[in-house]
Structure 1
Amino acid sequence: MKHILLLTTSLLLACISSFAQKTLASLQNNLSQREIEIVPEPVLVKQENGSLTFTPQSLIYAPDAEAQHIAALLNQTLKQRYGFSLHLTQSATAATLQLLLKPGSTPHEGYHLQVNNRQIRISAGDGAGLFYGVQTLLQLFPATPTNHLEIPAVEIVDSPRFHYRGMHLDCGRHFFPVSFIKSYLDWMARYKLNTFHWHLTEDQGWRIQIPQYPKLTQVGAFRKQTVIGHNSGIYDGQPYGGYYTDEEIKEIVAYAAARYITVIPEIEMPGHAQAALASYPWLGCKGFGPTYDVWTQWGVSPNVFCAGNDSTFMFLENVLTRVMQLFPSHYIHIGGDECPKDHWKQCPLCQQRIRELGLKNEEELQSYFIQRIEKFLNAHGRDIIGWDEILEGGLAPHATVMSWRGEQGGIAAAKQHHDVIMTPGEWLYFDHGQGNPTYEPLNIGGYLPLWKVYGYNPVPASLSPDEQHYIIGMQANLWTEYIPNTREAEYMVFPRMLALAEAAWTPLSKKNYQDFLSRLPAQLHWLDQAGVHFRIPEPIGLQDSTLQTDSLTIDLKPLLPGTKIYYTLDGSNPTPTSPLFEKPFTLYLPAGKSLTLRCIEVTPSGNISVPYSAVYQHAATQGNSSKISAPAIQPRLARDEVAAAIP
């Protein structure tokens, strides 16, 4: 779903700009001087003199049930990271940490955190704000495991820019276990993301158990095999599938709610329905079928729900009734995207529906389909979200539009006074590549580096101030055609999730990518300690260069302290047995020659990056494309100098 290849392969090779590299280099030098490294950046941070020491003997004052719930979550994290938890006290003055709910004292989801040398006080107008205050406090704790946590004195006043801050996960193409989804939710909560968009049905798999229709999971949850690569025509021959039981769904919804995250389920219609049709073929258009297989390749299947058959709507209403029983969210996402109309054009029932309703075309038939489902959900107190294709043929009266094909759909919806969630593929599709496709894991294509995610502003300047109020937030999407396991999912999500979080929370006037990068190492440390397989940012100083003289000093620094860099200069890909970069060295390059440095990074936990590279060429190389394939260390040179051999 939602697949646009953004750039040509040649543009993908530019993994990070020289501007970003220079910025990183200057910030790295000052990193040790910074104590407050919070992501997302709060509205106001005022660092004071002094600090407070948190110990196993410290007490928490949480005078009501919600504050006590948040204290229990804090204790879980303290136990996991530092090996101790804290007791509650009924005395506010005896407590080291006060958790105070004061309705109306802060904006929704906002908080006020104060640390002095005697006490920590977090107050908020609602439970979500109090929870987010605790998440900020956890980022003030030291990274090294200890039972004496030194916390800098600080005052923080904070609240979000947008009230919809979402992450999506496609479990239709590939299935992910409950344990991974809980971890996903934990990281979302840490970075103050409050909506989990759970994509549960697809052409390639139906993942939600509906007791009234058992074949949806008996048949629709499993495909006989999966195409290898980009629809190569070659298949792996391995049956694949899985689904979530009622109890597992309830468990995930409750787990998310405990962390102030709303789970919005997506049940795709009228397209992306082949797994449902494989389960119950009568859901398809007349004259097609009569049987279907759960789809084994990627892309958009032509097999869609029949819009002319009332039995289709009865089926969907029954499914959605069960969905509403499992998910208390105000919104239900009904898809609405990428619905081929070929079968509708040939289906006698669909054409009869068009004539009876006086519709002009199949686009208006889709609008009828969406509006009919919306009326059903509205009657049960719910509203719909749909991808921006639901604008075609006329927008349903109360629909919220999720704009993915750029911003135009969102702009059009906002001008019609409909709420909009911006999720344009160019900026927020985390299935897009992050670097050189030769080395990156297989992906859909495109190029979406960290800086581009961070720089996205979801409020188009073309909207009037009144219209801009209809932009309620933003969301990043992880489509999983080429993401078969949790390890690769983590690689595609982190650290881009952190950039999303700051873009969605922090005031636009405070966003600063250079400053974000200075706070990122502390967050990478937590990810590394937790064993998350995040994408390790390229080393500072690794950039293509043109030499004006015969020498250049190579100085590489990892963004995450403690990370080791291994490199090669002979054209081979580096490994952990390659030379270790220990200090700057001088590269000598004769006129007319070029040289490629390749490197990998290995974090303290053992996470290994893909190879990164930079090409160095002498200015006189223009018109002479010869490259150095085997640089040699000359005996007369010091240990920190390398000369390129002259062939």
Structure 2
Amino acid sequence: MLPVSYRLESAWQPEGGPHGRFTFTLFNLSDSPLSGFRLAYTSLTRVVDPAACDNATFLRRNANFHEFAPPEGFALAPGENWTFTVGGLNRQAKHCTDGAKSAYLTLSDARHVPVAVSDLRLEGATSEPPPARLPEGHVGLPFALQPWPAKIDAVAGEGLPAVLFPAANSSTEDIRAISDVLALFHRLFPAGHAPFSLAPSGQGQPIVFAKRGDLGVEAYRLAFSGREIRLEYGAAAGRQYGLTTLAQLIDGARNHATKFRFPAAGTIVDQPRYGWRGCHLDVSRQFYPTADIMRLIDILAWFKLNIFHWHLTDDEAWRLEIRAYPTLTTLGVLRGPDEPMLPQLGNGADPVGGFYSQEEVKAIVAHAAALHVEVVPEIDIPGHSTAALVALPELADGQEAPESYYSVQGYPNNALNPAVPFTYEFLEKVFDEMVELFPSQYIHVGGDEVADGSWMASPLARKLMEEEGISGTFALQSYFLKKVKQMLTARGRKLVGWNEVAHGGGVGTDGTLLMAWENPKVGIELAREGYDVVMTPGQAYYLDMAQAEAWQEPGASWAGTATPAHTYAYEAEGEFPEELKSRMKGVQACIWSEHFLSRGYFNRLVFPRLPAIAEAAWTPKEQKNWLRFAAIAPLSPIL
């Protein structure tokens, strides 16, 4: 490992500006002096007043990318440091991850060199360490199950079978189902002792399978007798969930014998609370290799979640190969100092890219389908489209003034223009390829965070608005999304979007599913308008939110603090009027990747809140128990 040549330390003080100020200190740890250089860093806490800095010159900002220069003629000798302050921030910092996420220097010869960064320090107030996320926990019934079943009436045994195996009369499909769940277990717990064997064992117990027409497709029933286990199921998904329950029971009893047991007698009767039990992953801000996507899908299956919402495009990158437009995954994924797009969160001197080929997509979809997980793809339109516009400049109205509007994340002119004819030709071809890749009945089209004022400086848009009698950004967005819905309907697909799809007149409610993310009340309003709704409020189900108010707790803060206890206890359905509850189709966790710069941060922020949401999606309200969950959650697999 090479030693660090340059390091950027940063601190935030509550005073020094309307939202406090940053103090940056660049250390020259190399053997050579620095002069004629520029410093760039990325940060979610953005500079909005370029004049509010001292001992540095603000050069430019693009969304989360910032660039500064030292005073003219300044030289930084080896072993010395340069300090400058920056006020005029868009918001106050609340957590240690609110500072610089990456940095680099551009030297006088135009070379770019990396700069190491540290977490943001707090000055002028107490920097508190993070509290424990889970209490010690307590189990009434000593069974290791995630999520907890709908009904359980079982007696714990003193011992446990070495393995479970298919009874002699098992069908080929039943034996394959055991093999599939065994393979899932080995992938998630490679050092764990196999809970199943395909061959009989004198130290084990047989599983007797029975398909039941009176059980739902995801339902199952387990009966324990000490001699055998009877697994009744409605369809293949229910059979998988029943086997997963058995794997969890035996693994918990084997590895944590002082706390958990295996049932000697009794029954488990189980089925999901909701049909949509989802987890979203943003792969635009940070790229996740195919192996990581497959492992996350394995984890979803282990928790009996059945939807993987794959957020494939955003301002930062377009990750899905579209053969009709190859520049989407050449120009539209490259971020770097000299690349088509500037570095963003976590990017530094080295260019970064990454996308999913169509062959990789097919493999991921097949892997998910084998585990009864449906992959719902998202291309985020019309906003959040910087990457697409960089890759295909002809999508823009060439007469529109640059930087005539900015998104909430600070991207200029980042929305596909509804008045550009090529927009629809482009989307037709994109959807043609997507429906070949994704068998899901749903395609998610985003529809969120279009800046008010978008397109108002576009002559083409102004002309279209006059012709169609449209007034304002959101009515024009509605016009656009109605055309998108027609495209999807023609391809046999249903439109899914974020709650802003309903703005400006929205789209037809029939065959439309909207996700309420801004706050819980939005979901009720959407249901009143006739939309089917999935609840994914940032205040409870966004897994990038910090889990405590303490400064040293990582994560975002715009939606407040989502402690594991709050995430577990939150009851989306409880806020719905009785007459609207049928519109609520389920719940979903959302993993936005701005803060996920390492595997460690991913696992810290996602767990234990992901299994908490899985329990909200599966377990009846009256069966939930926080202390029991806290006792079992540490057994969760992680990425």
Confirm or deny a common fold (TM above 0.5). Answer: yes
Deviation of 1:76 after TM superposition, in Å, equals 1.9
Counterpart secondary structure, 2:487: helix
Partner of 1:111: 220
1:9-408 mapped onto 2 (5 Å cutoff): 24=135, 27-28=137-138, 34-48=141-155, 50=157, 53-55=160-162, 58-60=165-167, 63-64=170-171, 66-77=173-184, 80=190, 81-82=192-193, 86-87=197-198, 96-102=206-212, 104-143=213-252, 151-153=262-264, 154-225=266-337, 236-288=348-400, 299-397=410-508, 398=510, 399-408=512-521
Whole-Å Cα distance in 1 between the matches of residues 169 and 493 of structure 2?
Answer: 34
- Does 1:500 find its partner at 2:610? no
Q: 1:323 to 1:96 in 2, by over 3 A?
A: same
Counterpart secondary structure, 2:586: strand
Whole-Å Cα distance in 1 between the matches of residues 296 and 548 of structure 2?
Answer: 23
1:192/1:501 contact within 8 Å kept: yes
| Number of matched pairs | 505
Letter in 1 for 2:446: G
Deviation of 1:386 after TM superposition, in Å, equals 0.7
Q: 1:58 to 1:313 in 2, by over 3 A?
A: closer
Deviation of 1:519 after TM superposition, in Å, equals 3.1
Is 252-261 or 300-309 further displaced after alignment? Answer: 300-309
Deviation of 1:476 after TM superposition, in Å, equals 1.1
Letter in 2 for 1:381: G
Letter in 2 for 1:411: I
Whole-Å Cα distance in 2 between the matches of residues 374 and 106 of structure 1?
Answer: 35
Partner of 1:449: 563
2:541/2:590 contact within 8 Å kept: yes
- 5+ residue gaps, structure 1: 534-647
Letter in 1 for 2:239: L
Q: 1:226 to 1:459 in 2, by over 3 A?
A: farther
Q: 1:66 to 1:467 in 2, by over 3 A?
A: farther
Q: 1:371 to 1:45 in 2, by over 3 A?
A: same
Whole-Å Cα distance in 2 between the matches of residues 254 and 238 of structure 1?
Answer: 34
1:391/1:413 contact within 8 Å kept: yes
1:306/1:344 contact within 8 Å kept: yes
Deviation of 1:464 after TM superposition, in Å, equals 3.3
Deviation of 1:321 after TM superposition, in Å, equals 1.1
Counterpart secondary structure, 2:262: strand
Whole-Å Cα distance in 2 between the matches of residues 299 and 283 of structure 1?
Answer: 20
Counterpart secondary structure, 1:201: coil
Letter in 1 for 2:582: H
Deviation of 1:439 after TM superposition, in Å, equals 2.5
Q: 1:235 to 1:130 in 2, by over 3 A?
A: closer
1:165/1:193 contact within 8 Å kept: yes
2:545/2:555 contact within 8 Å kept: no
Deviation of 1:518 after TM superposition, in Å, equals 3.3
Letter in 1 for 2:607: F
Whole-Å Cα distance in 2 between the matches of residues 457 and 297 of structure 1?
Answer: 29
Normalised to the residue count of structure 2, the TM-score between the two structures is: 0.72
Deviation of 1:183 after TM superposition, in Å, equals 1.2
Is 314-323 or 66-75 further displaced after alignment? Answer: 66-75
Whole-Å Cα distance in 2 between the matches of residues 345 and 453 of structure 1?
Answer: 40
Deviation of 1:99 after TM superposition, in Å, equals 3.0
Whole-Å Cα distance in 1 between the matches of residues 365 and 557 of structure 2?
Answer: 30
Q: 1:216 to 1:11 in 2, by over 3 A?
A: farther
Whole-Å Cα distance in 1 between the matches of residues 345 and 488 of structure 2?
Answer: 40
Partner of 2:590: 477
1:142/1:151 contact within 8 Å kept: no
Whole-Å Cα distance in 2 between the matches of residues 325 and 195 of structure 1?
Answer: 19
- Write out per-residue CA displacement over residues 510-562 of structure 1, whole angstroms, 9 at most, x where no aligned residue: 22223322333xxx1453xxxx47xxxxxxxxxxxxxxxxxxxxxxxxxxxxx
Deviation of 1:200 after TM superposition, in Å, equals 0.3
- Write out per-residue CA displacement over residues 224-243 of structure 1, whole angstroms, 9 at most, x where no aligned residue: 2599xxx9999723211100
1:431/1:492 contact within 8 Å kept: yes
Q: 1:99 to 1:12 in 2, by over 3 A?
A: farther
Percent identical = 31
Q: 1:269 to 1:45 in 2, by over 3 A?
A: same
Is 409-418 or 378-387 further displaced after alignment? Answer: 409-418
1:285/1:305 contact within 8 Å kept: no
Q: 1:358 to 1:176 in 2, by over 3 A?
A: same
- Write out per-residue CA displacement over residues 287-323 of structure 1, whole angstroms, 9 at most, x where no aligned residue: 248899xx99955543211110121011011101111
Deviation of 1:332 after TM superposition, in Å, equals 0.3
Whole-Å Cα distance in 1 between the matches of residues 268 and 434 of structure 2?
Answer: 40
- Write out per-residue CA displacement over residues 65-122 of structure 1, whole angstroms, 9 at most, x where no aligned residue: 5434322213325664215852268xxxx970123332x3223411101121111111
Letter in 2 for 1:251: A
Normalised to the residue count of structure 1, the TM-score between the two structures is: 0.71
Partner of 2:61: none
- 5+ residue gaps, structure 2: 1-43, 46-89, 96-124
In structure 1, which of residues 436, 453, 464 is the aligned counterpart of residue 577 of structure 2? 464
Counterpart secondary structure, 2:383: coil
Q: 1:311 to 1:291 in 2, by over 3 A?
A: farther
Whole-Å Cα distance in 1 between the matches of residues 489 and 462 of structure 2?
Answer: 27
Q: 1:369 to 1:86 in 2, by over 3 A?
A: same
Deviation of 1:416 after TM superposition, in Å, equals 2.2
Whole-Å Cα distance in 1 between the matches of residues 461 and 323 of structure 2?
Answer: 29
1:302/1:340 contact within 8 Å kept: no
Partner of 1:439: 552
